[in-house]
Amino acid sequence: MPRILQVTRLRSTDSGSVDGGRAVPLLGLVSDEVESFSDDGAEEVQHAEADGWSLLAFEYIDGAHADYTPKSPDLPGIMASMIQLSEVPAPALELKTMPHRLRTYVADTADLSWFAGNHLLHTEWNPHNVLMTADHARFVDWGWASIGAAWIDPALWLLWLIAHGHTCEQAENAASAHPAWDLARGPDALARTQHRPWDSIAAQSPDDWAKPMQAAAASWETCRTRWPDTKQSLPPPPRGAQRFLALLWSDLQRLLRPLRP
């Protein structure tokens, strides 16, 4: 009998949303689609429907929550799994797009074009949603799964890195190890949106991570404003050691996967 990692209860509405707008198709997303980049991922082991609710239970994974602090040994493995996630085809499910999610946070609607894309995104990079196993990182809690530009996941992740002690430069260097990282104006546009949701969350949430994330969003926007010409002024992407390690880790996972029992 598998041990239970998580039990999730979802209520569907006629519009295909859950609990006032969170993504509904969690079962298919986790067990059928995302598992393709994580062979020993959290497999759905129980599924029941009753009175408009879906009850989902997922198998236990032996792992620890990710460490986001500077010089953490977890960071290359997280990036390697994030790179693999960007290669997973978007599922045939009704997920919200990033332009739709961010439409109320932009001052200029033209900025929404930077967020468009057809990639599956996790977007909720709380370290409790990343489990480090013996070989690589597993992403759990897909309640805010979305579709958009692939560089958005590393961009949202870097906010959490700043909140855990990284400077803006260090966090951007970590994010830029992702092959989809955008050094044009996309991150500038995203940075301008992030203080609004995090101001709201910090004002309402008692969680101890809310105010550090509010400060991280403000810090990132300030840094991006301070770098007027993004292509020339930002620290160059680590096309050497850091990106090499992330891509090497990703390739090793693919090579070792057929050898796993």
Q: Write a three-state SS string for 182-233.
A: CCCCHHHHHHHHHHHHHHHHHHHCCCCCHHHHHHHHHHHHHHHHHCCCHHHH
Looking at residue 24, its pLDDT comes to: 32
Looking at residue 168, its pLDDT comes to: 95
Q: pTM of the entire structure?
A: 0.75
Q: What is the DSSP string of 12-50?
A: B-TTSEETTTEES-HHHIIIIIGGGG-TTS--EEEEEEE
Looking at residue 36, its pLDDT comes to: 32
pLDDT of 115-168, one tens digit each? 999 999 999 999 999 999 887 898 988 889 999 999 999 999 999 999 999 999
Looking at residue 160, its pLDDT comes to: 98
The lowest-confidence range among 65-74, 174-183, 238-247 is: 238-247
Q: For 101-122, what is the mean pLDDT? A: 95
Looking at residue 246, its pLDDT comes to: 57
pLDDT of 1-35, one tens digit each? 334 344 444 444 443 333 333 333 333 333 333 33
Task: Pick the more confident residue, 229 or 136.
Answer: 136
Q: How far apart are CA 93 and CA 96, in angstroms?
A: 10
What the block records as the tokens of 17 is: 């949303």
- Enumerate the domain spans of the chain: 63-259
Looking at residue 140, its pLDDT comes to: 85
Average pLDDT of the residues of the chain: 77
Q: How far apart are CA 216 and CA 245, in angstroms?
A: 26
Looking at residue 199, its pLDDT comes to: 95
- Domain 63-259, what fold? Aminoglycoside 3'-phosphotransferase; Chain: A, domain 2 (3.90.1200)
Q: How far apart are CA 76 and CA 245, in angstroms?
A: 7
Looking at residue 92, its pLDDT comes to: 83
Looking at residue 251, its pLDDT comes to: 57
Task: Pick the more confident residue, 39 or 118.
Answer: 118
The lowest-confidence range among 35-44, 129-138, 167-176, 238-247 is: 35-44
Residues constituting the chain = 261
Instruction: Rounding to the nearest 10 degrees, give the CA dihedral for residues 192, 162, 34, 132.
Output: 180
The lowest-confidence range among 46-60, 146-160, 168-182, 223-237 is: 223-237
Looking at residue 3, its pLDDT comes to: 41
What the block records as the tokens of 40 is: 């020993």
Residue matched to tokens 């609710």: 53
The lowest-confidence range among 44-58, 79-93, 174-188 is: 44-58
Residue matched to tokens 């530009």: 149
